[in-house]
Structure 1
Amino acid sequence: MRGRSRFRTAVAAATAALLCAGALSGCTAGEPTANGTTARSTSKPTPKPPSKPTPRPSPLWDVSPASVAAVGDSVTRAFDACSVLTDCPEVSWATGTDTTVNSLALRLLGPEKVATRSWNLARTGARMAELPEQMAGAAAERPELVTVMMGANDACRPTPDLMTPVADFRTSFETALARLRKGAPKAQVYVASVPSLMHLWSTGRVSPMGLEVWKLGICGAMLTDAEDLSAAADRRRAEVQDRVVAYNRVLSEVCAEDERCRYDGGAVFGFRFDEGQLSPWDFFHPSKDGQARLAELAYRRITKE
């Protein structure tokens, strides 16, 4: 009898194991009981507490900064946009108050805050070597956004051999960003590309008045003898345009190393200013309409998610 009992117990345990292995839901075999059956565990697995969603990190780029400082040259000062040989910062693409231009600051801050939450620190005639000083001034204001439009004057020298060397241009721009980071480490930076001087030449040279004005010495490296289509003149203009392209490459590369910097991707360089978007006094600087186009390009890039 004892042998039969042990045999029945073994058969019951083996049957239970086979049933468990083939079941769709998990189970565990218990110890055989005295009457030859196998006890099943009635304990249920402890449910895991619901996992908390991982918080998303705050984006480094804020599409709605609350203050704007502008650095750069005559374009940001809106030189020759309102009257001859005069700055007109109220129509500046960056910080102007003129509603027909609808500057970047107006779009971001609204008209009630432009006067107190934006600063135009650009200077007509400035070259990249001056940018570190301007950036230090911008950092002192603790802006949430700094706009940079600089480089045209580095190429617009009397002759191509006087253009700023690319290596010096890079050093000055790197130093400028370092100055900003020292005083305003979290400030965002929008960097506009240098405009295509070749396109400005091709647009303005069809205007008799533009040709006369250019003889006064505006951007000599590109615009001297604007009607000269000889091979030598073409090579000179191509050299200037190549330098502008090199400057833009520097702006792109240096900006890419700063996580709070956005380059415009060549938007200003690629924009084709028509005659109505150039100053009627020098056919070189942007008119009010041209300033409005620059504001639009900047706003589009800065507010892109």
Structure 2
Amino acid sequence: MRTTAPRRRARRTHRGAGAVLALVIAVAGPLAGCSADGAKPGGERGAQAAPRWNTAPASVAAVGDSITRGFDACSVLADCPEASWATGNDPQVHSLAARLLGEAEAPARSWNYAVTGSRMADLPGQLASAAAHKPDLVTVMVGSNDACRPTASSMTPVAAFRAGFEKALAGLRAASPASQVYVSSVPDLQRLWLQGKDDPMVRQIWKLGICQSMLADPVSAATGATARREQVRARVVEYNEVLREVCGKDPLCRYDGGAVFQYPFAADQLSHWDWFHPGKIGQARLAELAHRQVTSPEPPR
């Protein structure tokens, strides 16, 4: 009796240890693929789902230049923000804000911080003002004035244009992380030149100083004039590539895929005061393009 009792106690102890070991394995097993901080083996953290694009934003802020201010859309050499494609309340335009929020609600939940004459260097300040409202959507249309300079040589360098856009987006993200951004491409300035160059009255208006890098000597076919216009167009293409690349790194930024650059603005869609800025019909087309892309579940291809 004395020799067997210890062995029975030993067997009971062994079975108890096995049960504890099995429990430890069962608990630890599901955790074996993660470290204490949730990382996968090798230091790789689990992928987080990208934020989804909201196709029905409830507030809109606009930044940019004279196009978004509706310059020359209502009267000569004057802003007309009520005709802005982004936030205006003119029913003939039916702005993006009006389409998204309704004509009655849009004025209370939309803000226009665009300034006529602005360039990319001005964008960080405009976005800082827009961010104060924590808008669901911010529209950006800038770059025309970076290309529209007194001479082609004075156009904003591409590197400076990129640095300005990166700074502007970073500032917005710091101040309003959840705001979506819709970025319009820079219009094809050469296409606008083609619409008015053969009209003597238009040529006289252009002499007042509108976008001389593109519009100076509008009917000249000399090698220098042709090369200058091609240089300006090439710079616009480069600007649009910057907008696409920088915006593409932000999951809540949507570039228009070149829609505005490719849009064939006709003469009746341009301002009858300068034949360069969009008139009300042109502003309406811009609003339509933006609304189609903002409300699409997928970005433009």
- Please confirm whether the aligned pair reaches a TM-score higher than 0.5, indicating the same fold: yes
3-state DSSP class of the match of 2:111? strand
After the TM superposition, which of the residue ranges 208-217 and 166-175 deviates more from structure 2?
A: 208-217
1:67 matched to 2:64? The reply is no
Q: 1:205 to 1:288 in 2, by over 3 A?
A: same
Distance 2:134 2:281 in 1: 30
The structural deviation recorded for 1:259 is: 0.2
- How far is 1:159 from its partner? 0.2
- Runs of 4+ with >6 A deviation: none
User: In the aligned structure 2, how far is the partner of 1:287 from the partner of 1:218?
Assistant: 16
- Which among 142, 145, 159 is matched to residue 153 of structure 1? 145
TM-score (ref. length: structure 1): 0.81
Shift of 1:206: 2.1
Whole-Å separation in 1 of the counterparts to 2:254 and 2:82: 25
Does structure 1 residue 303 correspond to structure 2 residue 295?
A: yes
Identity percentage of aligned residues: 61
Displacement of 1:59 in angstroms is 5.5
Shift of 1:111: 1.4
In structure 1, the partner of 2:45 is none
For residues 139 and 50 of structure 2, the distance between their equivalents in structure 1, rounded to whole angstroms, comes to 22
The one-letter code matched in structure 2 to 1:130 is D
Which residue number corresponds to residue 128 of structure 2? 136
Partner amino acid, structure 2, of 1:250: V
Q: How many angstroms apart in 1 are the aligned matches of 2:104 and 2:159?
A: 42
Cα distance change of structure 1 residues 181 and 59 upon mapping to structure 2, 3 Å threshold: closer
User: Deviations along 1:247-281, whole A, 9 cap, x unmatched?
Assistant: 00000000000000000000000001111011101
2:257 aligned to 253, 265, 270, which one?
Answer: 265
AA in 1 matched with 2:248: A
Residue matched to 2:277: 285
**Equivalent residue in structure 2 for 1:96, among 85, 88, 91:** 88
Partner of 2:36: none
- Mapping of 1:237-248 within 5 angstroms? 237-248=229-240
State the Cα RMSD in Å.
1.0
Structure 1 counterpart of 2:257, one-letter code: G
Distance in structure 1 (CA, Å) of the matches to 2:262 and 2:85? 17
Pair 1:117 & 2:109 matched? yes
1:24 corresponds in structure 2 to: none
Residue of structure 2 in register with 1:255 after alignment? 247
Are 1:192 and 2:181 an aligned pair? Answer: no
| Displacement of 1:217 | 1.2
Partner of 2:98: 106
Quote how far apart the aligned CAs of 1:99 are.
Answer: 1.0
Question: Matched residues in 1 for 2:141 and 2:190: separation?
Answer: 18
**Contact kept? 2:51, 2:251, Cα under 8 Å:** no
Q: Among residues 204, 214, 224, which one is paired with 1:212 in the alignment?
A: 204
Structure 2 distance, partners of 1:204, 1:245, is 21
Equivalents in 2 of 1:151, 1:169: separation in Å? 8
The within-5 A match list for 1:46-61 is 60-61=52-53
> Is the Cα–Cα contact under 8 Å of residues 51 and 252 in structure 2 kept in the other structure?
no
Structure 1 residue 58: Cα displacement: 8.8
Q: Which amino acid aligns with 1:82?
A: C
Helix, strand or coil for the counterpart of 2:67? coil
SS at match of 1:69: strand
Q: Select which of 144, 166, 174 maps to 1:174.
A: 166
Rg larger for: 1
Unmatched 5+ residue regions in structure 1? 1-56
Matched, 1:202 2:200: no
Partners of 2:82 and 2:88 within 8 A in 1: yes
Among 225, 228, 242, the residue aligned to 1:236: 228
Deviates more, 1:147-156 or 1:57-66: 57-66
Amino acid at match of 1:168: A
5+ residue gaps in structure 2?
1-48
Measure, in 2, the Cα distance between the counterparts of 1:193 and 1:208.
Answer: 30
The letter for the 2-side match of 1:189 is V
Asked if the contact 2:141/2:186 (under 8 Å) is kept, the reply is yes
TM-score w.r.t. length of structure 2: 0.82
